[in-house]
Chain A
Amino acid sequence: MTIPEIENQLESEFQYFEDWMDKYNYLIEMGKSLPLIDPKLKIQSNLISGCQSRVWLHAAYENGKIIFKADSDAVITKGIISLLIRVLSNQKPDDILNAKLEFIDKIDLKEHLSPTRSNGLLSMIKQMKLYALAFKTKYQ
């Protein structure tokens, strides 16, 4: 699926949540259940330090696409990471660079990407785009 298709899919999934508690319960479940990253990759060079929570991000280039793996010490951050991974991983560098990620706003999770939150998510997205640019320059 393309990035906009996955974004649309997420938006319709989130429509079913009746209130904030349902939504956060879902994010918490996602955060708890997904083993997002190999502990071996939880190293300093993969760490994106926010003031509130820590995020680890690893990227690999396979067959023209980038595979992202990420994790966080905070479970809600991890839940949101799982959404971002679903949208941006296994995509082509150009598509990642062009992704506007409007779904975050539409499913009302924008506050988690505000600089005041300082939870590492905003820096993670920046880092994902930097990886896309780096792989694009290197392989294309």
Chain B
Amino acid sequence: MIFNINKIRKDFPALQQEVYKKPLVYLDNAATTQKPQAVIDRIVKYNTYENSNIHRGVHYLSQKATDAYEQARIFIKEYINTAESHEIIFTKGTTESINIIASSFGKKFLKKDDEIIISTMEHHSNLVPWQQVCIENRAHLKVIPINEKGELLIDEFKKLLNEKTKFVALTHISNALGTINPVKEIIEMAHKFDVPVLIDGAQGIPHLKIDVQNLDCDFYCFSGHKVFAPMGSGVLYGKEKWLEKLPPFQFGGEMVENVTFEKTTFNELPFKFEAGTPNVESILGLETALRYISEIGIENIADYENDLLNYATKELTKIDGLRIIGTAEKKASVISFLIGNIHPYDAGTIIDRMGVAVRTGHHCAQPVLDWFDIPGTIRASFAFYNTKDEVDRLVEAVLQAKKMLE
């Protein structure tokens, strides 16, 4: 398929709006993405004609909803190439996916003085669950350092790995810096010590082709809303051998096999980890969003976004006093920056009034900003529906902020 940006933009109703009487330029895609009409239609169709509780009823509608839900699982299995469809657990998002593993792994396998490795650039949601599980079990959190460009120091990671290491949790792409981490290499190194690896793919899934068997990761987590699907949908991929070994995270309906007042036996995978009624409409929306991406082609998307990133980097760098935070060799279309000594909040306020949506603050990744010794950044994050004209609007807005605030 030819990458037709005009056609693509028309698929996203949210992009057709004006804010402050100017066409909206939406550059906060690392926070959440807009939904194509197909996804919106899918949710409406489900609620109009298919709504029913799944896996429970023998009636027609329940069967229809269950089929659609399980079809979504099979599609996502193929999309990220898992070995089995029951290795796909539906969750409400990356945060829940990580919490399931941190809690279940901690409960079963973590002992005093064990070590868990994360990196300096983790989002709080791939940091705090591990930190807390370490505190509970009197284990230790070890942190892979980074260089000035915002790249992991692989040699330092090697030094951190030892027989006490029980788990590695790492982000695929940094939400604050845009760095694409060499996760395959890290997984291979960890596996030499028989250490399982979880990849936080919240930022990976919208930008990269994900093949979990090729990566050989033990767990991969992502959120629907960062990949053009509804909020409240998420995926936890886990290798069968691990998911079988881990205890359930939540208890309730659906995840049980046999219940008496004395004891309960748990359902098989994936249902063991899917307690309660799931967010069916959002999961169906997620399937539709990933089908939409497949039609355009993730490689085409990656090429287009890379071009946009290079253009934006070039144009922003021309601005006197503008400093980009995160200049890794391998980057996704995320640019964090500061303008001279201007506070990100002030700049963000003016940029917003110019009709450009960017994120300001610490992006839920305080430790990495502490490392750079800055309170926050202004972050522009691009999706495949953004254009070079929109980059120009960003530049214009930044210049306006600079003029007013310097």
Q: Which of A70-78, A84-92, A128-136 contacts B (4 or more CB under 8 A)?
A: A70-78
Q: Mark B19-33, 1 if CB is under 8 A from A, else 0.
A: 010000000000000
Closest to B400 in A: A21
CB–CB B362/A51 < 8 A = yes
29 interchain pairs, CB-CB under 8 A: A20-B20, A20-B353, A21-B353, A21-B404, A24-B350, A24-B353, A24-B404, A28-B346, A28-B404, A51-B361, A52-B344, A52-B345, A52-B348, A52-B361, A52-B376, A53-B343, A53-B345, A73-B343, A74-B343, A75-B343, A75-B405, A76-B345, A76-B346, A76-B349, A77-B345, A77-B346, A112-B349, A118-B361, A119-B345
Interface size class for chain A? 10 to 19
Within 8 Å CB of A21, what residues of B?
Answer: 353, 404
A22 to B20, CA, bound (A): 15
CB–CB B343/A24 < 8 A = no
Asked whether B375 is an interface residue with its Cβ less than 8 Å from the other chain, the reply is yes
A24 to B345, CA, bound (A): 13
Within 8 Å CB of A74, what residues of B?
Answer: 343, 345-346
A21 to B405, CA, bound (A): 11
Asked whether B360 is an interface residue with its Cβ less than 8 Å from the other chain, the reply is yes
Residues of B within 8 A of A (CB): 20, 343-346, 348-350, 353, 360-362, 375-376, 404-405
* Interface members, chain A 3-36 (any B CB < 8 Å): 20-21, 24-25, 28
Closest to B352 in A: A111
Within 8 Å CB of A25, what residues of B?
Answer: 404
Closest to A20 in B: B353
Between A and B, how many residue pairs show CB distances below 8 Å?
39
Residue from B343, B375, B405 whose CB has the most chain A CB atoms within 10 Å: B343
Within 8 Å CB of A24, what residues of B?
Answer: 349-350, 353, 404
Closest to A53 in B: B345
Closest to A73 in B: B343
A117 to B345, CA, bound (A): 9
A73 to B343, CA, bound (A): 7
Closest Cβ of chain A to B263, distance in Å, is: 45
A52 to B405, CA, bound (A): 17
Within 8 Å CB of A119, what residues of B?
Answer: 345
Closest 4 CB pairs of A and B: A74-B343, A74-B345, A53-B345, A52-B345
Closest Cβ of chain B to A21, distance in Å, is: 7
CB–CB A75/B20 < 8 A = no
A74 to B345, CA, bound (A): 6
Closest to A51 in B: B361
A43 to B140, CA, bound (A): 32
Within 8 Å CB of B350, what residues of A?
Answer: 24
A119 to B345, CA, bound (A): 8
Within 8 Å CB of A28, what residues of B?
Answer: 346, 404-405
Closest to A118 in B: B361
Closest to B376 in A: A52
Closest Cβ of chain A to B39, distance in Å, is: 24
